[in-house]
Structure formats: structure tokens, C-alpha cells
Amino acid sequence: MKKIQILGTGCAKCNELAANAKEAAVGLGEEVEIEKVTELTEIMQFGCMTTPGLAIDGTLVSQGKLLKPDQIAKFLQSAS
């Protein structure tokens, strides 16, 4: 099971990114765990300087962008 981490303080874009990540996983038929990382010190440990950030299995794949489900699906497929 892959772990998707949404990096952000809980803003609307962060919540939308989490929903898009879930939609991407469902579309691929993948079981994922989605975790929201809201503490700034934790977010910075990923090297994320602009939220929202997206990490898959602990690796930062995007920051400062509200990705669409199809874009997230590509990251999930390449993380296999």
C-alpha cells in the first residue's frame, strides 16, 4: 500500500489536493493511505517550501501546485 502525504496547513487547496489524490488512487484501483502533514517543521523536513505539497512514500513529488487527479495518477504509477 502506498502512502500519500498532503503537505500543508489545512487550506482549501490542501483539502482539494487530498480529494484529488484519493480520486486518482480510486481511478487506478490502488489502495493508499492518505496522511495530512500540517506541522510546518514536518513539512520543511520534506524539503517543501511552498504548499500544498504532495509526497508519495515519503518522497516529495510536487509543491506549490494543485494537481489534478490524472497528474497525481502519473506520479502513483511511476512510484510502483
Q: What is the pLDDT of residues 8-50, one digit of tens each?
A: 998 999 999 999 999 999 999 999 999 999 999 999 999 999 9
The CATH number of whichever domain residue 73 belongs to comes to 3.40.30.10
**Total-model pTM:** 0.94
Catalytic residue flag (residue 11): yes
pLDDT averaged over the chain?
Answer: 96
Choosing from 14, 54, 55, 72, the catalytic residue is 14
In this structure, are residues 10 and 38 in contact, taking their beta carbons and an 8 Å threshold?
A: yes
Choosing from 3, 9, 11, 39, the catalytic residue is 11
Domain hosting residue 69, numbered range:
2-78
For 53, the grid coordinates are 505539497
b/e per residue 22-51 (b: at least 16 CB within 10 A): bebbeebebebeeebbeeeeebeebebeeb
Instruction: Name the domain count of the chain.
Output: 1
- What's residue 79's pLDDT? 83
Of 51, 46, 56, 41, residue with least CA distance to 3? 56
The helix-helix angle for 12-28 and 69-78 (nearest 10°) equals 60
